[in-house]
Amino acid sequence: MKAIRFHETGDADVLRYEDVPTPIPGSGEVLVRVAGSAFNPADGGLRGGFLPIPIALPHIPGYDVSGTIESVGDGVDALAVGDTVIGFLPMTADGAAAELVVAPAEALVAAPTRIPLTDAAGLPSVGLTASQALFEAGRLTAGQRILVNGAGGAVGGYAVQLATHAGAHVIATASPRSRASVEAAGADEIVDHTTTTLLDAVIEPVDVLLNLAPITSEDFTALVARVRDGGVVVSTTPMVTTPGDEPRDVRAETIYVHPDNATLSHLVSLVDSGDLRVEIAQHVPLSELPTIHAQADAGQVHGKVVAVPPSA
């Protein structure tokens, strides 16, 4: 089968589009024929050797997958050949940037039926990140006010939609390029961060501050003043320490996405009910994935990109 692999860590030019042996599912595993493999910035981090996640070389990237069950290993009863599935795959194992991938059965859930199977690859890890940030860490409830900094990104789009669906009042940052998408996601207020500072734009306190964008420690700390007493600051950017305010009982939470099939299945149900949109900015042939890695390294990838294998 065809796959993208890197035999050493480094820049995007270490990626190779090559023939590799077809994997065989073991006990508790299934073989998935890949319909789509979504690119994530962490794929570049793994390839570059920047993330402290152990992988064996050569390595196939791509931990977000959609596809169809091709075969099942021993002990797998909940899934059958022909089932369409999506999943957030273990980042330590070979991923879905291939025609076929072996996955733990427990990592997969039924795919949404309202959208193309290929597009469904854009949901798992970013949807889970948004949900876990809002509801596990942020404990967001109806009627609360939330500020989403970085709403124009893939996680931000889901965060705005999910917060809106939960009945929160959503204030979101967006550039002119992403404003229409953030507006369509349901934001109640939009701040153009290219022309206005959040401290100037947000006067009333918020219950939850969710940061999804690169930010300096000084700017992040200053924003905590806009969080009400007893509120929470949530961040997905571990390079900068998430600030809180202990005297005012403002919690600080940093999110590291983790598998959660119940939540992923719930997100699928929201897609199928029309309450959650999956936006894919670009589809590319699997063979062109190295170009996407190079563009991402240069800051030129905006929105979710899904790589499509030749057999899809």
- 2-123+278-308 with 125-254: one CATH topology? no
How far apart are the C-alpha atoms of 3 and 1, rounded to whole Å? Answer: 7
For the entire predicted model, the pTM comes to: 0.94
Q: What is the pLDDT of residues 128-177, one digit of tens each?
A: 999 999 999 999 999 999 999 999 888 999 999 999 999 999 999 988 88
Q: Which superfamily, per CATH, for 125-254?
A: NAD(P)-binding Rossmann-like Domain (3.40.50.720)
Task: Give the tens place of pLDDT for each residue, 211-247.
Answer: 999 899 999 999 999 999 999 999 998 889 999 999 9
Q: Supply the CATH classification number for the domain 2-123+278-308.
A: 3.90.180.10
The predicted structure's pLDDT at residue 178? 83
Q: Cα–Cα distance between 309 and 4 in angstroms, integer?
A: 10
CB 217 within 8 A of CB 241: yes
- Distance between CA atoms of residues 63 and 186, nearest Å: 28
Q: What HEC string does 157-221 produce? A: HHHHHHHHHCCCEEEEEECCCCHHHHHHHCCCEEEECCCCCHHHHCCCCEEEEEECCCCCHHHHH
Amino acid at the residue 206: V
Q: How far is CA 152 from CA 19, 45, 172, in A?
A: 37, 21, 8
User: What tokens were used for 2?
Assistant: 């065809």
**pLDDT for res 244:** 95
Domain coordinates in residue numbering, the chain: 2-123+278-308, 125-254
H-assigned helices in the chain: 41-48, 124-131, 154-165, 179-185, 198-201, 217-223, 261-273, 289-297
For the chain, list residues with pLDDT below 70. none
